[in-house]
């Protein structure tokens, strides 16, 4: 399994989150991007070694992820990534549309020039990763793009509920679709254009289009 040490070090250097929160965010990204496939076991010792940490923050991070629905099992001996439940996806889609619309609206009202520059860097990195055929990296960057944008909203409770929804959403299946990469890149550009212009209504519409187009592609892949 490829490991991005530079990314891990950067993330773990953030001072405004506890170590367990930083590890949990790292693991969320790896689960959503498919680096840790559904049903796979997460071994505390291996994760701790990769991140150059003790077992304790990894154990606590797994407890957080278990509460959010990303993993199940005994966090002391190892946790397993929760399998995808297709029966709940439609309801989760509708909840995502409601909550993420609120987050992007708030982000559009708060975004600074630096925020927009950071998002543009991530959007460009996403394009480059897909162009090189590195889908796993692209999926990870996609997570960082959305997480960075929603952090701007300063609505931590809403973001927390969205992260719970993400645990139950088939991102790995959607992002594996043949044409999803370019479509997602174009949709990211639409969202950024709306944020840059300060048009919150356009930003919300662009985000809803982004979420719904991914869902549509998933339906086409399954039929």
Average pLDDT over residues 98-107: 97
| Residue predicted with more confidence, 167 or 88 | 167
* pLDDT above 50: residue 9: no
Provide DSSP, the chain: ----HHHHHHHHT-TTS-HHHHHHHHHHHHHHTTSS-TTPEEPHHHHHHHHT--HHHHHHHHHHHHHHTSEES-TTT-EEEPPP-GGGHHHHHHHHHHHHHHHHHHHHHH--HHHHHHHHHHHHHHHHHHHTT-HHHHHHHHHHHHHHHHHHTT-HHHHHHHHHHHHTS-HHHHHTSTTHHHHHHHHHHHHHHHHHHT-HHHHHHHHHHHHHHHHHHHHHHT-
Average pLDDT over residues 192-218: 91
* Residues above pLDDT 90, as percent of the chain: 61
* pLDDT above 70: residue 147: yes
Average pLDDT over residues 75-81: 71
Average pLDDT over residues 125-153: 92
Lowest mean pLDDT: which of 121-135, 156-170, 206-220?
A: 206-220
Which domains does the chain possess?
A: 5-81 (1.10.10.10), 86-221 (1.20.120.530)
59-77 burial, b for 16+ CB within 10 Å, e for fewer? bbbbbbbbebebbeeebee
What are the pLDDT digits (tens) for 18-76?
A: 889 999 999 999 998 888 988 899 999 999 999 999 999 999 999 999 999 999 986 45
Average pLDDT over residues 156-162: 95
């Amino acid at each position: 399994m490829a490991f991005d040490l530079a990314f891990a070090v950067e993330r773990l250097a953030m001072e405004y989150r506890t170590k367990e929160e930083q590890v949990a965010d790292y693991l969320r990204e790896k689960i959503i991007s498919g680096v840790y496939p559904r049903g796979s076991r997460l071994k505390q010792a291996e994760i701790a070694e990769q991140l150059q940490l003790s077992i304790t923050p990894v154990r606590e991070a797994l407890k957080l992820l278990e509460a959010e629905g990303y993993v199940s099992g005994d966090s002391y001996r190892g946790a397993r990534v929760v399998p995808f439940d297709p029966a709940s996806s439609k309801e989760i889609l509708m909840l995502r549309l409601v909550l993420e619309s609120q987050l992007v609206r708030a982000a559009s009202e708060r975004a600074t020039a630096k925020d927009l520059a950071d998002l543009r860097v991530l959007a460009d990195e996403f394009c480059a990763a897909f162009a090189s055929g590195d889908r796993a990296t692209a999926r990870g960057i996609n997570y960082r793009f959305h997480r960075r944008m929603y952090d701007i909203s300063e609505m931590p409770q809403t973001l927390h509920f969205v992260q719970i929804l993400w645990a139950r959403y088939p991102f790995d299946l959607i992002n594996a679709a043949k044409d999803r990469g370019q479509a997602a890149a174009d949709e990211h550009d639409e969202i950024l254009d709306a944020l840059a212009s300060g048009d919150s209504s356009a930003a919300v519409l662009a985000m809803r289009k982004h979420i719904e187009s991914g869902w549509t592609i998933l339906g086409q892949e399954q039929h």
